Amino acid sequence: MAEPIYKIATRTEWDRARAHGALEGTAADRADGYIHFSTLAQLKPTLDKHYRGQSDLVLAVVDPGRLGTALRWEPARGGDLFPHLYAPMPMGAVIAERTIGADADGQFSLPEDMG
């Protein structure tokens, strides 16, 4: 398996995706026309920039090999290549999921086993 990629969604968005068997995208994804993902190295900066202070978030660990040709690596923040999916994300691509939230200062800590 390739290195996993990560998707962040609110609990409400995630529950809706689970019920439908696929994630159609968050509000930001739908506005941009693709589903945003991050690599492990990009995850903390993404959380800090776009989700600061939010709680009740779901962090999905996704196998990029299960997403097919609709997954593209494109330059974004700082010229880094980010994974973008131009199709709904099937729940079968999710290999793990965790609840994540900010501490009292609005900062995120990744689970210890994620580096």
The pLDDT score that the predictor gives to residue 114 is: 65
**10: Cβ–Cβ under 8 A, 6 or more apart, which residues?**
26, 54, 56, 57, 58
How would residue 112 be classed by pLDDT, with cut points 50, 70 and 90?
low
How far apart CA 28 and CA 58 sit, in angstroms, is 15
**pLDDT tier at 65, thresholds 50, 70, 90:** very high
pTM: 0.91
Domains and CATH numbers, the chain: 5-103 (3.20.170.20)
Reported as a single tens digit per residue, the pLDDT across 78-96 is: 888 999 999 999 999 999 9
Please tell me which residue, 17 or 105, carries the higher pLDDT value: 17
Find the mean pLDDT for residues 3-13: 95
